[in-house]
Amino acid sequence: MPTEIVFETHSWSEDNDRGLATGWLPGRLSSRGRALAADLGQRRRGDGIEAVFTSDLRRAVETAEIALAGTTIPLLHDWRLRECDYGELNGLPAADLHARRSRYLDHPYPGGESWRQAVHRVGRFLDDLSLRWAGRRVLVIGHVATRWGLDHWINGVRLEDLVDADFAWREGWEYRMEEHHGPRDRR
């Protein structure tokens, strides 16, 4: 039986308002983001979600806390769901950072990591997810790197095809992960 994964991005942050690429900085939700997080909660509360996994970065945790306030759904923080670490470029204007994104597909950002390394982290998360939550429906709250990891490891999309694509926000993505044995090593 496949594991159903619902992916949602963290809600709109103060850095989104300022046009900054937060990366591994914690970030905080804006007032708009808090309202969007409450909307996410309304969308997902009756959706059969058995657990929520969130990046441990503050903006993702805050999204999950607002969305699931007052529920008994377990909320589990996992650093492997973090955004790509832009290293010395964390906090740079997003337009400047994303204009050069493909340079960092396989080469780490100065003092950070590559997109492939970030997506590899998500693959390790998925390996562990199937150990305890196989055949269940879970919510994952993360970032661009998280979604790319799901697209890559579950849907087989090449990172070369993701790195230059626009990130079109929407209200959730749905994935069905078949049972997996052994570490993920697909490029």
Q: Indicate the DSSP class of residue 184.
A: -
> What CATH number is associated with residue 99?
3.40.50.1240
In a domain, 54, yes or no: yes
In a domain, 129, yes or no: yes
In a domain, 182, yes or no: no
β-strand pairing of 75-77 with 137-142: unpaired
The domain total for the chain is 1
> Is 10 known to be catalytic?
yes
Catalytic residue among 4, 8, 10, 120: 10
CA distance to 72, 143, 144, 177, per residue, from 167 (Å) = 32, 10, 7, 22
Predicted pLDDT of residue 75: 96
In a domain, 62, yes or no: yes
* Terminal C-alpha separation, the chain: 26
Provide Rg for the chain, Cα atoms. Answer: 16
CA distance to 55, 80, 138, per residue, from 87 (Å) = 17, 16, 30
Q: How far apart are CA 105 and CA 55, in angstroms?
A: 21
In a domain, 186, yes or no: no
In a domain, 183, yes or no: no
pTM here? 0.93
Whole domain around residue 142: which residue ranges?
3-177
Predicted pLDDT of residue 181: 46
Q: Indicate the DSSP class of residue 16.
A: H
Nearest of 79, 113, 90, 100 to residue 20 by alpha carbon: 90
In a domain, 68, yes or no: yes
> For the chain (length 187 residues), average pLDDT per consecutive 10?
94 94 95 96 92 97 96 96 97 92 96 98 95 94 96 95 81 86 51
Q: Indicate the DSSP class of residue 12.
A: P
Long-range (24+ apart) CB contacts under 8 A made by 130-134 are 130/3, 130/177, 130/179, 130/180, 133/3, 133/50, 133/51, 134/1, 134/3, 134/179
Predicted pLDDT of residue 89: 95
In a domain, 65, yes or no: yes
H, E, C per residue of 27-91: CCECHHHHHHHHHHHHHHCCCCCCEEEECCCHHHHHHHHHHCCCCCCCEEECHHHCCCCCHHHCC
Residue position matching structure tokens 């808090």: 34
CA distance to 25, 137, 141, 149, per residue, from 59 (Å) = 9, 23, 10, 19
Catalytic residue among 4, 8, 62, 83: 83
